Chains A and B, each alone.
Chain A
């Protein structure tokens, strides 16, 4: 396991409560009570820290709007209306949440295995490509083709991540670097595919050449439940939920999940116990890529209905950020994905206020920084305390 992989990812697993220093234990009843009080205080402190942090992020955004002749009083309510206010908006939010969650789940798997894949954006694009290929070229269009397209999307993303695994386990190239560089290669592959009619380029419409593909037949589109403006969402969300639950169970309850976690924590001990790092690591990367690819497929068949160069719409980067902000905890990731989804849905309403939708990206970035700040601060304080204890344990 190379240094980059271990260091970049594993530090973000859910923090373990600080263990008491090894040594003579004190009176248990008082101790337990004191420990409970301390925990309660620390939970309250954490919550307060998050609230303050997030408030600061929104405050800075409001300041930005105000300083540029906008009106925060109009902007934030507009975003609220666009994301959560009505059932229709809620539907948009949920639509956005689905792909984010799928990507995040995949990112969590590979990070838990100790391999820090940050190339989801590229894997989403490749997945959308392969999915589009199947959806457009396989006839007759219908339900089975839809399923096939989604599977193809997952396979495409998996193959793209497979390159990362190959480079890592054959040549020792760091996962962080290769997955990052491959994102930009994927973008160009997509462009190329969209410029060739035998691949994905749009047919007909003589003269005007847009870089996008044909529209997917309605039979190959993900079914939706309900219609706007009533509560509606696409089945992409269902896929996301099922996938998250599945992955969560496998990671915590099965021997496979145990092995993946062990590999992430301590690859040397894992090898001793019989875990083949290359094999299991590759599986983890493939799963991670498959999830990203599937998200691309869901975007394609559930929202965009045709493939364009910007099909991924930063779902890859954002999904990765969701996983990181959620500190690789699948349950928290669901909530964080919802937050991101709401932000983006809210952005859709911004144009009515005269504020550029780029504001959404600004707010999103500030929110991520705000979400990263409290645990980072706490970890530093905790490590300072533990450092004294560790020195004692190791040195005395």
Chain B
């Protein structure tokens, strides 16, 4: 992913955007602690940090969504107060949002017009959109409905929307998680052009080392709300950056490479599989078989398009792919939430009816869903409720819940999985993200499932929680559970999986054993070019 690196020094000496001792507290938690940031014209500035480091809070302050408690923000050297997104835009700050900024039923040009003020002029808006699209090589149809766009097209539209405001500073938040490798390259090319030709600045927020190493000129590393280092990127090594990001020396060959988004180390260690992982279990019985699955979403678009895969006892199958290619649908299918038009699902040789409430769980499929708030837990019910909800029969007697049994079951799981809770009756909402994920894990593993589907299991977790989750998944596999690891983080997959499959547009486009993995080939498959 190397790109034209900036050869000339950044332009004007006055920084475009600065944070000076910015502090923000939420209750007892200090999200940002005296953060200093200097972004200069003509540079792509990375903000690197793991989940929980404070990056997004910092950005929210720049965008006027959150007010800082202390410190100040300066634009072109002048201190400013940013009350709301309109104000931020007026100071030349614009953010390329991932999910929340485009409105589906409206057309692209209408969305563009939304962020501005004054009379609406369709003709002029469309014209400006076309000009920008041409200038930067961003293929965007101003008259299309946003609902009809693909994810890559949506992001391009978001970028154009930003460019329309003629910002001085572009902020992007984890932009590549929804893009293929090819699209990511394209994105960085555009950013480089924007930065160089027009002497704007780009702030790239990421938790991925590779992205930062290859695309940025300078990097500010945050950890636990503080800035730990700010330095030029050329000359930095992955190991150095990782150490600053995590706070201790990191073996990039170990579990943490996934956490820091570093791709090369696991690949280097490709030949011998990491110790403790059983060899590819081709000889073992098949516990999960999905054949020719076809499913359609409410808008008519195909979610799964003839997906076929098999999972063996005790193996970890990593399903790689860019987000939005059917992973969520596959997860929903295995959680009994999605019905199939065609195709079958068999667990341990027995057919399971797709879309029938609870059928998968009853057949022995455990599920750690992609978004635990939506599918895995009920935030407003208590921790105990969430722990027992998978198997009410075990804690009740002829339909009547037995409180003692509920408490016993809950305490047992809390102990075994080291979940940190105040009271077992506290609402699940009050737990931290890592602990909530443990609750889900505990509940699912408690039923000794034959198959465990882990969908983006470490997303949003800090390194400690990631380590725990990874170890647990390994343990489950070692005990004979077949694990299907669905992840958009290639590093995670390469770290854990025995076998890797790639999903693209709702079907499996390639499979290989871990030791055969070739990064380039994987990338091509993920991008849709069959290898």
Contact = CB atoms under 8 A, between A and B. Distances in A.
Contacts of A262: 378, 381, 389
Nearest to A10: B380
B225 A396 contact: yes
A160 to B, nearest CB: 27
B337 A268 contact: yes
B327 to A, nearest CB: 16
Which of A21, A25, A271, A272 has most chain B Cβ within 10 Å? A272
Interface stretch (B12-20, B134-142, B425-433, B518-526): B425-433
Which of B367, B381, B389, B431 has most chain A Cβ within 10 Å? B389
A44 interface: no
B337 A272 contact: yes
Nearest to B380: A265
B177 to A, nearest CB: 16
Contacts of A24: 28-29
A389 interface: yes
A255 B57 contact: no
Which of A25, A253, A396 has most chain B Cβ within 10 Å? A396
Given A255-B392, A262-B389, A396-B54, A16 B336 contact: no
Given A21-B26, A21-B27, A273-B361, A395 B375 contact: no
B530 interface: no
A9 B430 CA distance: 23
B358 A273 contact: yes
A265 B431 CA distance: 18
A255 B367 CA distance: 22
A255 B60 contact: no
A269 interface: yes
Contact of B29 (A21, A261, A276): A21
B399 interface: yes
A396 B53 contact: yes
Interface string A356-396: 00000000000000000000000000000000110111111
Interface string B402-442: 00000000000000000000000011011111000000000
A276 B359 CA distance: 11
Nearest to B382: A16
Contacts of B336: 271-272, 274
B357 A396 contact: no
B427 A391 contact: no
Nearest to B56: A395
A19 B380 contact: no
Contact of A19 (B65, B337, B390, B426): B426
Contacts of A254: 396, 399-401
Contacts of B315: none
Contacts of B57: 391-392, 395-396
A272 B359 CA distance: 8
Contacts of B32: 396
Contact of A255 (B359, B399, B432): B399
Nearest to B360: A272
Interface string B46-88: 0000001110110010000110000000000000000000000
B31 A395 contact: yes
Given A255-B399, A393-B433, A265 B53 contact: no
A3 interface: no
Nearest to B54: A396
Contacts of B275: none
A20 B430 contact: yes
Nearest to B335: A272
A259 B357 CA distance: 13
A241 interface: no
Which of A26, A268, A270, A394 has most chain B Cβ within 10 Å? A268
Given A255-B396, A393-B433, A275 B28 contact: no
B385 interface: yes
Nearest to A19: B430
B377 interface: yes
Interface residues of B, number: 49
Contacts of B236: none
B56 A20 contact: no
Contact of A269 (B66, B376, B399): B376
B531 interface: no
Nearest to A396: B31
Nearest to B224: A396
Contacts of B396: 254-255
B447 to A, nearest CB: 11
Contacts of A22: 29, 430-433
Contact of B427 (A19, A256, A273): A19
A21 to B, nearest CB: 4
A16 B336 CA distance: 30
A51 B273 CA distance: 70
A23 B28 contact: yes
B361 A272 contact: yes
A272 B401 contact: no
Interface in A228-255: 253-255
Contacts of B65: 391
Contacts of A269: 374-378, 389
Given A253-B400, A265-B381, A23 B29 contact: yes
B271 interface: no
A24 B374 CA distance: 26
Contacts of A396: 26, 29, 31-32, 52-54, 56-57, 225
B362 interface: yes
Nearest to B28: A23
B374 A266 contact: yes
B228 to A, nearest CB: 15
Contacts of B430: 19-20, 22
Contacts of A13: 380
Interface string A2-19: 000000000001001001
A84 B275 CA distance: 80
A330 B362 CA distance: 34
Contacts of B28: 20-21, 23-26
Interface string A259-293: 10110011011111111110000000000000000
B31 A258 contact: no
B27 A389 contact: yes
Interface in A2-56: 13, 16, 19-26
A265 B29 contact: no
Closest 7 CB pairs of A and B: A274-B358, A392-B26, A19-B430, A21-B27, A395-B56, A23-B29, A22-B432
23 contacts: A19-B426, A20-B27, A21-B26, A22-B430, A253-B400, A253-B401, A255-B396, A255-B400, A265-B380, A273-B390, A274-B358, A275-B358, A277-B357, A389-B26, A389-B27, A391-B66, A392-B27, A392-B29, A396-B31, A396-B52, A396-B53, A396-B56, A396-B57
Given A19-B429, A255-B396, A269-B376, 12 more contacts: A19-B430, A20-B28, A23-B28, A255-B400, A266-B374, A268-B337, A272-B358, A274-B359, A275-B358, A392-B29, A394-B56, A395-B60
